[in-house]
Amino acid sequence: MQFLVNAAQMKSYDRNTIENIGISSLVLMERAAVATVEEIRGRFPKISRWENGKERKISVLVVAGCGNNGGDGLAIGRILMEYGYEVSFVLIGNQEKCSRETAVQIQILGHMGVSIKSDLSAQIEERVDRKRKNWDIVIDGLFGIGLSREITGIFAQSVEYMNQSGAYIVSVDISSGIHTDTGVVMGTAVRADLTVTYGYEKLGQIFYPGAEYTGELVCKKIGISYREGLEKPAAFIYDRGDLTRLPVRKTDGNKGSFGKVFVIAGSEEMYGACQFAALGAYRTGAGLVRILTARSNRELLFSAVPEAIVDTYETEFPGEAIEAGLAWADCVVIGPGMGKGPLACQMMKYVWEQCRAPLIVDADGLNILAAWPESVSVKAGREIYFTPHMGEFSRLTKKSIKCCKEERIPTVKEYALTVGAIVVSKDARTVIGDSEGEIYINTSGDNGMATGGSGDVLAGILAGLVAQGMKGMEAACMAVYVHGLAGNAASGKKSAYSVMAGDLLEMLPEIFML
């Protein structure tokens, strides 16, 4: 598990380290610079290379701003000089307004006889006059995590030059122009090949579009950390080490030991939804799966999922079958491919009012609830999971998709608190929140998963974990993480162009064998 922070949290941790722990800001700056140089030298271990029969040094351009991010950049350039790289420096902005730490870095370079240009175009012209090609490496130290307004003027021009330089771009702490909390591009932004961030990864480096501008992200520990009494990090993410959280399989277990999942899904037009949800539960370890679906799906299910118990309905409300399923199940899934007609609404209302087992509401189940907001309240002791994609989440919250995307964490927090459920807000970066304010952001998966049926598989994976005893946020986070890993594996084997929902099911055994 790793933590993610917003700008305010990172600043408070930094301030606490300086004022209360006693590590000075200049020491932190030097540590940051040394850590970044380590990463650069790991990728450019030789200080020279042969070009047109001549040996020349690897050239570096540092583009610094007046804030501490610029000071980091200047320190990085200085240390690279010590290793023998050819380094040029440009400071963009009014030098008189530089932070104290950046002013010290300017002074150090002055004592070393190093010239710092104040005009990027002049630096470029000087290089052309010397008949040198563009720089090999550009250090982006223009703006840090404090950026709150759009980049314009000479700063925007500097960003565009870096992007068009053809050099390997290293951003210091965060790509200049990316909003630290949201990942939004503030007018323009540097497209980094590598971003070396300090202390913790930032939300804007994980959310899109910020993630696309960040390039490879490396987080270095330099002495800044969360401590008791400060605001907790904004969110957390899982990595492969968290797969140890999966339910332990009892060696003497039986099919009843590993949980029973009741899936109410599918219709005449949407057969595959119930199949994918049922197989998702089985492939995740559920002992038994029972399906309630339209009668037209019966023979297909017997062939596709012969392990399942299948109940069906035609035009009458299947009250007895639902009642029996609710009494039998350890976890219930309702909604995938169910439709939104009168019968589907009647079933949804009955299950919502009568189900006492953990309940996963997906797809059409959510659309029905969105039209019935006055009844969406969770009774005490009941475990509810909502798994909406952006369109469904917009309908549930009565907010625009744009708002739901740009205000991911506040919107998920607010709605999870309102309905008392665990909310799995699905998108390129799925955000999960609960009524206690915990936030998880998923980083597994890729765009190959943007295919019909993928969400039905996720509902089944979540049901399989919950049926085996996982609860709350841990179950939801693990389900989404595993689902994403299956997507990565499927894309790796078949390419993102060719992934289908069934491929995710095929990859699950590989994930659980890791």
3-state secondary structure 23-85: CCHHHHHHHHHHHHHHHHHHHCCCCEEEECCEEEECEEEEEECCCHHHHHHHHHHHHHHHCCC
User: Using only C-alpha atoms, what is the Rg of the chain?
Assistant: 27
Are 222 and 35 a contacting pair, CB within 8 Å?
yes
Check residue 74 and give left, alpha or beta (phi > 0: left; psi -120 to 50: alpha). Answer: alpha
pLDDT of residue 388: 98
Instruction: Specify the DSSP class assigned to residue 496.
Output: T
Q: Where is 157: in which H helix or E strand?
A: helix 153-164
Tokens (6 digits) for 48: 């020279």
Q: Quickly list H helices, 231-336.
A: 271-283, 298-304, 319-328
Are 58 and 40 a contacting pair, CB within 8 Å?
no
pLDDT of residue 374: 77
Q: Most distant CA pair in the chain: distance in Å?
A: 88
Q: Which residues pair with 345 in a beta bridge?
A: none
Q: Where is 13: in which H helix or E strand?
A: helix 7-16
Give the span between the Cα atoms of 89 and 336, in whole angstroms: 58
Q: Where is 345: in which H helix or E strand?
A: helix 342-354
Give the span between the Cα atoms of 29 and 160, in whole angstroms: 26
pLDDT of residue 312: 96
Q: Which residues pair with 361 in a beta bridge?
A: 334, 386
Sign for the CA dihedral angle at 504, 507, 512, 514 comes to negative
Give the span between the Cα atoms of 234 and 4, in whole angstroms: 6
pLDDT of residue 382: 86
- 207: how many CB neighbours lie within 10 A of its CB? 25
Tokens (6 digits) for 379: 């009774």
At residue 36, φ and ψ (nearest 5 deg) are -70, -40
| pLDDT by 10-residue block (mean), the chain, 514 residues | 97 97 97 98 91 86 97 98 96 94 98 92 67 84 96 96 96 98 97 98 98 98 94 97 95 94 94 97 98 96 95 96 98 97 96 96 97 75 94 96 94 95 97 97 98 98 98 97 98 97 97 88
Give, in order, the Cα–Cα distances in Å from 79 to each of 25, 85, 100, 210. Answer: 18, 9, 20, 28
Q: Where is 311: in which H helix or E strand?
A: strand 309-313
**Residues sharing a CB contact under 8 Å with residue 62, sequence separation 6 or more, in sequence order:** 73, 74, 76, 77, 87, 88, 89, 90, 138, 139, 141
Q: What angle do CA 225, 228, 233 make, to 5 degrees?
A: 55
Are 104 and 30 a contacting pair, CB within 8 Å?
no
Give the span between the Cα atoms of 398 and 401, in whole angstroms: 9
